[in-house]
Amino acid sequence: MILIGDKNIPYETLTKVSTIEELAKTKANTMVVFEYIQSLVDYCFKNNLSYGVIIKDLKEAIYSNALEAKYIICDKQLAQSIQNTADNYMFDSKVLAIIESNEEFEDITKQQIDGIIYNYLLK
C-alpha cells in the first residue's frame, strides 16, 4: 500500500500546481500534482514528467491512465469504483484515496485501494 504524507513513512516531494508556467518552475525530480486539466495532463505526458492528477470522475481517470499519470487521486467515495476499473483494465497508474488522518487508511486498505494521500498535501 502506498502511503503519501504519513509522518511515519518517507515519501517523495510533491508540488501542487495549476498552470503550465508553475509546472515549468518546479524542481527536477519533484512529483507534480494538480486538478485534472487536459492541457496540464498533455504537457506532463509530452514531457515525460512524473505526475499525480486529482480526478472527479471515471472519464478523467481513464484519460489520466492513458496519458501515464503515476497517481490517480480521488475522494474516498469514488476510490472503490476507480480501483475496480483500474484492476479490470490493468491500469499502470496507482489509485490514491484522499484522507484526513491515519485513522482512515485501515478502511481504505479493506477496500483494496492502491494507496492513500493526505489532504494537507493537496492544498
- Domains, in order of start, for the chain: 2-122 (3.20.20.70)
- Walking along the chain (123 residues) 10 residues at a time, the average pLDDT comes out as 93 94 90 97 95 98 98 97 97 98 92 97 94
DSSP codes of every residue in the chain:
-EEES-TTS----EEE-SSHHHHHTSPTT-EEEEE--HHHHHHHHHTT--EEEE-SSHHHHHHHHHTT-SEEEEEHHHHHHHHHHHHHTT-SSEEEEEESSTTSHHHHHHTT-SEEEEGGGG-
What pTM does this model have? 0.95
pLDDT at res. 96: 98
